[in-house]
Amino acid sequence: MQTLSWMPPRSTPLRKAPNVRLIGLDPGLNHTGWGVLETSGNRLTGIAAGIVSPPKDDNLAVRLASLFAGLERVLETYKPEAAAVEETFVNANPKAALVLGQARGVVLLAPARMGISVTPYSANTVKKTVTGNGHAGKDQVAAMVRLLVPNLANSLDVTKDAADALAVAICHAQHSGTASVWNRAQQKISATH
């Protein structure tokens, strides 16, 4: 009778995960929130957060151009490698929904024009990722952002829009990290077959 023995594979030293800088964006025509994080494995480091606020008295085209220019400055300053944008929900007011959709188009365009990959996330996905509850309120989301990125979220400069953008960035960090692990596992499985 033959005895089969199993030996665990030789352990290899863990490679340090590369730092990845990403930006979360929360679209709005009055205030677009942005939050920049750096990830290293499952570690998050807040880099900066703020809002871009186009002048309210200008016509729509000028406001959209101002939003684009403000986002370009943020992207050029912080040089993220990836962007995540919160999807907008359908508003009861069709005119407001159309204007918000136009602002979201500008928010999607700014990083894409700089060659930065853009990933959309629904508001429920962001909330569920950050708080564990897809229907969490803004205060719950802000509280978790303060816990996860205390160096930025406790700053007096971080508005609710910027905190929402940080939540989008946290969501992307979590989902892209999971996808990366999943892809590596699938590559290993494919290589053995």
Task: Please name each of the domains of the chain with its CATH number.
Answer: 20-192 (3.30.420.10)
Give the helix, strand, coil percentages of the chain, each rounded to 5: 50, 20, 30
SS3 174: helix
Residue 4: pLDDT band with limits 50, 70, 90: very low
Cα–Cα distance, 75 to 177 (Å, whole number): 22
State the sign of the Cα–Cα–Cα–Cα dihedral 151, 154, 156, 160. Answer: positive
Query: Which residues lie below 8 Å from residue 14, measured CB to CB, with a gap of 6+?
Result: none
pLDDT digits (tens, 9 = 90+) for 73-112: 999 999 999 999 999 876 678 888 899 999 999 999 999 9
pLDDT digits (tens, 9 = 90+) for 38-86: 998 788 999 999 999 999 999 999 999 999 999 999 999 999 999 999 9
Cα–Cα distance, 154 to 147 (Å, whole number): 9
* 3-class SS letters over 1-43: CCCCCCCCCCCCCCCCCCCEEEEEEECCCCCEEEEEEEEECCE
What is the set of active-site residues?
26, 86, 161
Q: Residue 181 pLDDT more than 50?
A: no
- In 3D space, the residue among 90, 95, 72, 59 whose CA is nearest the CA of residue 25 turns out to be 72
pTM of structure: 0.82
SS3 52: strand
